[in-house]
Structure 1
Amino acid sequence: MSTIDRGCVLPFAAVISASATVSQDHGDHDDGALRATLIYAGQTLVEYQARQAAEAGAGHISIHVSAISAALSRSVDRLTADGINVSLVRSAAELRQTIPPDSDILLIGDGIIAAQSWYAEIARRAAPVLLVVNDRVTEPEFERIDAQHRWAGLARLNFRHMMDTLDTLDVLADWDFQSTLLRHAVQTDPARVIVNDEALFKGEIILVGSQTTADAAERHSLTTGSIPASGFGWVEQYLFVPLVDWAIPALLRRQVPPVPLRTGAFALSATGLVIASFGLTWPALLFFILGLVVDTVAVGMAKSARRREQSGWRDLICPVLALLGLILLGMHGQVNQVSGLFTGLYLAASITIVELSVRTGKALHMRAWMICSLGTALILLLLFRFAGMLDLGFAVTTLFALASVAMIVLARPVADNPQTGIPTKDIHSL
């Protein structure tokens, strides 16, 4: 079995070092506080690290601390509430009891912020392995392991080596957990995964020493990626994405949890449905749009903070309420002169097909202007309503939705022609 394959099969636990204090030379108001309790992505830094480890596949997470504080206890409570198996340990003996037998160990350095791709890279390799950076391009805060490399804050150790090291710590009078464990790991001649210079300059590995550094890292890392770059309508791409990228860092810095936001999004959409039942078009459309925006922000916040947000049917609440609202709006007023009682139903059915294609990834190859998403339909109807042509707006938007369905079907990659062996062209090559 290859090294990578064996690393994928073996279970592993995680150990996070969380005893270092904020450096006294940073001039922050947080001097003396633990690095682990600095705020990052709307939570403590150690909580974010634990969520990354769980996402990488860690079955149990031990946080090694010198003393248990209220902030650390609250972090553990939140992690436990999200279904993450985590515990605080203060000694080698306690740590020995929490590590599952025969499990590799993912060691996470104190104050390290690493891109999730590096967690995945270390997690899929067999122990022992260290993530390192070249000594010539990095800051002195990273711990040097030899003349060429410094430790980048992630390592995978085998169970036997971890137990032997803990036995050694039992007989030492004065020791630093992270440094001692790292030095014992280096003596086993582990494999090394080198963080390239480009990734380092992009901020994929950061050692946080103050709240100022954590804030800077958050602004750099959490401003993009909340919504995929393709596969959505032009309203989502050009209106929702900028709003989301602006709102998420601001809300996370204030430690606003995503759950109340999502509840508010449901309430906005439900209010829009009630208003639509009375035939009040533009207020209902505005509430539906606001509901979609707030729901998108909440989902983006959960993703950025790596929270295990409940999904499934909850993802459909705002869209379903908006689609029901379109059906109700289509049954009122002059719209019935266009296509009768089922005007709203025709539009809602067409949008449903488009939304299902988007949510299942079948529209990833489509350009934004080709997709009549739910947000796009609501904006179009609102514009037609302000122009006094709502009946025409329903007709145009329905045709747009049907055209989107056709383009999604025609543009989907098709297997090679069995007779000629020539790949069928997609819509972009026509």
Structure 2
Amino acid sequence: MLTALLAAAEGVETPALQPVAGVTLLEHQVRRLVAAGVERLVLLTGEWPVTLAAPLGRLRADHIAIDAVRTLADAADRLAASPRVLLVAEGCLPDRALLDRLAAAAVPTIATLPDAPEHQDWERIDAQARWAGVALIDGSRVIEAASMLGEWDPVSTLLRRAVQEGAGRLMLDAPPLLAMDAGSAAAAEAGIIRGTREAHEGWAARWIEAPLVEWSLPLLFPRSIEPLWPGALAALLALGGGLAAVAGLRWGMLVPLLAAALLRLIGRRLSAVQARALPHAQIIARAGDAGLVLASLGLGLGLMRDTGQWGWLLLGALLPLEMMLTALQRRANAWGGGVGEPAWLARGDELPWTLLPVAVVGGWKAGLAGLCGYAAATLAFQLRRGWRLMR
């Protein structure tokens, strides 16, 4: 079982309670540790700050229990039987990759940084290295440290004992995020936002939506917006846009679909920032798909009424069929080992952004025909890719 020991300095000024991206730093630390497979968390608090109750309550609401203790001796009672304990420094926010590497290392192991001027905020452990804020130790060592602690800092004491035992070292190229005060918390917040960028995003999400989302997220953090709310609003707007298309309101269709795409990304990024699963993510995604299907059929139906040509309705039905076949082939390609898709491929969120300039310049007929051609080219690419993987 993997356990974690975190420290929070005494008093209300502890970095553990520093606001970062809408919640406390402690909540970010805990959620990242849980996502990395930590099953038990022990928080060393010293004198209990009253303000600690709120973040612990939010964590308990998500079924994350933390054992808060006042002294290292109390922590030792809980950690003695744990052969693998992740020690996390106050203010340090390690990413998932670092936690995974350290959890797989031999005990004891210390994450380190070169002793360079740019790393002066990190604790020096010898003439060549500084501690990067995370270490893997044996729980039995906590008992030994508690028995001789005196007035020493508990985390530094555990770290020094690991160094004296010749602990292995995991040298890092770049330090983890560190939030010790308001200034460093703002830098950590920007780093957290950058870290939630999705590698599989298409061109619209990457170059149009992402800048807007990253501008809006800091405005949402002080309001403690839950990821569910932008996701739920996106679902309603997508369905509303689809119904507007059936009613013949073409701009009433496109504008809500564009807003829904932005809100879906905001919900996903908020969820990633908080290291929490997006509630009802499948329902939100299905509502977005249903809105696009209704919009395509509604646009084709309206153009058929305008021109008297049933082929437009056929195109309106063909577009969602092409996208469905593309999604199935994409999954098959992923199972076959295909990775690294080009950004230009058609995805659900790309369709409204593609339709916008084409409809403005060439009209709605050109817009629907262009979307069908775009989806057909994407499907052909995926089929060709699947054939190559099979071979």
Normalising by structure 1, we get a TM-score of 0.80
Q: Distance between the aligned counterparts of 2:117 and 2:332, measured in 1? A: 42
Identity of paired residues, percent?
A: 24
In the other structure, the counterpart of 2:165 is: 188
| 1:204-246 per-position Cα deviation (integer Å, ceiling 9, x unaligned) | 3344321111102322442354222x562x3233212222232
SS at match of 2:122: coil
Q: Distance between the aligned counterparts of 2:97 and 2:223, measured in 1? A: 27
- Does the 8 A contact of 2:88 with 2:133 survive in 1? yes
1:14: how far off?
0.4
Q: 1:157 to 1:224 in 2, by over 3 A?
A: closer
Q: 1:134 to 1:20 in 2, by over 3 A?
A: farther
| 1:263-316 per-position Cα deviation (integer Å, ceiling 9, x unaligned) | 222222232233234221211121012111111111012112322333652352
**Is 1:116–2:82 an aligned residue pair?**
no
In the other structure, the counterpart of 2:266 is: 297
- Does the 8 A contact of 1:14 with 1:60 survive in 2? yes
Residue identity opposite 1:367 in structure 2: P
Q: Distance between the aligned counterparts of 1:407 and 1:104, measured in 2? A: 47
Deviates more, 1:306-315 or 1:179-188: 306-315
In the other structure, the counterpart of 2:251 is: 282
**Is 1:227–2:202 an aligned residue pair?**
no
Deviates more, 1:142-151 or 1:39-48: 142-151
In the other structure, the counterpart of 2:379 is: 405
- Does the 8 A contact of 2:56 with 2:66 survive in 1? yes
Which of residues 236, 241, 252 in structure 1 aligns to 2:221?
A: 252
Q: 1:353 to 1:212 in 2, by over 3 A?
A: same
In the other structure, the counterpart of 2:39 is: 59
SS at match of 1:286: helix
1:356: how far off?
5.1
Residue identity opposite 1:166 in structure 2: A
In the other structure, the counterpart of 1:25 is: none
Give runs of ≥4 in structure 1 deviating > 6 Å: none
**Is 1:149–2:121 an aligned residue pair?**
no
Q: Distance between the aligned counterparts of 1:328 and 1:416, measured in 2? A: 34
CA RMSD of aligned residues (A): 2.9
Aligned 1:61-140 pairs, distance under 5 A: 61-99=41-79, 101-140=81-120
- Does the 8 A contact of 2:6 with 2:89 survive in 1? yes
Q: 1:385 to 1:151 in 2, by over 3 A?
A: closer
Which of residues 347, 358, 368 in structure 1 aligns to 2:343?
A: 368
Q: 1:237 to 1:75 in 2, by over 3 A?
A: same
1:36: how far off?
0.7
Deviates more, 1:43-52 or 1:311-320: 311-320
SS at match of 1:152: strand
Q: Distance between the aligned counterparts of 1:113 and 1:160, measured in 2? A: 25
Q: Distance between the aligned counterparts of 1:216 and 1:353, measured in 2? A: 43
Q: Distance between the aligned counterparts of 1:354 and 1:251, measured in 2? A: 35
Aligned 1:274-423 pairs, distance under 5 A: 274-310=243-279, 313-330=282-299, 332-335=301-304, 337-339=309-311, 341-355=313-327, 362=334, 364-369=339-344, 371-386=345-360, 389-412=363-386, 414=388
In the other structure, the counterpart of 2:183 is: 212
Q: 1:235 to 1:327 in 2, by over 3 A?
A: same
- Does the 8 A contact of 2:231 with 2:284 survive in 1? no
Q: Distance between the aligned counterparts of 2:201 and 2:186, measured in 1? A: 31
| 1:379-419 per-position Cα deviation (integer Å, ceiling 9, x unaligned) | 343445445742343233112212210111213483596xx
- Does the 8 A contact of 2:326 with 2:379 survive in 1? yes
Q: Distance between the aligned counterparts of 1:416 and 1:352, measured in 2? A: 21
- Does the 8 A contact of 1:266 with 1:291 survive in 2? yes
- Does the 8 A contact of 1:366 with 1:408 survive in 2? no
Residue identity opposite 1:339 in structure 2: G
- Does the 8 A contact of 1:338 with 1:395 survive in 2? no
Q: Distance between the aligned counterparts of 2:343 and 2:103, measured in 1? A: 36
Q: Distance between the aligned counterparts of 1:240 and 1:310, measured in 2? A: 22
Q: 1:410 to 1:42 in 2, by over 3 A?
A: same
Q: 1:354 to 1:247 in 2, by over 3 A?
A: farther
- Does the 8 A contact of 2:332 with 2:386 survive in 1? no
In the other structure, the counterpart of 2:29 is: 49
In the other structure, the counterpart of 1:421 is: none
- Does the 8 A contact of 1:47 with 1:75 survive in 2? yes
SS at match of 1:373: coil
Q: 1:239 to 1:279 in 2, by over 3 A?
A: same
SS at match of 1:332: helix
Residue identity opposite 1:105 in structure 2: V
Alignment: residue pair count: 385
Gaps of 5+ in 2: none
- Does the 8 A contact of 1:224 with 1:245 survive in 2? no
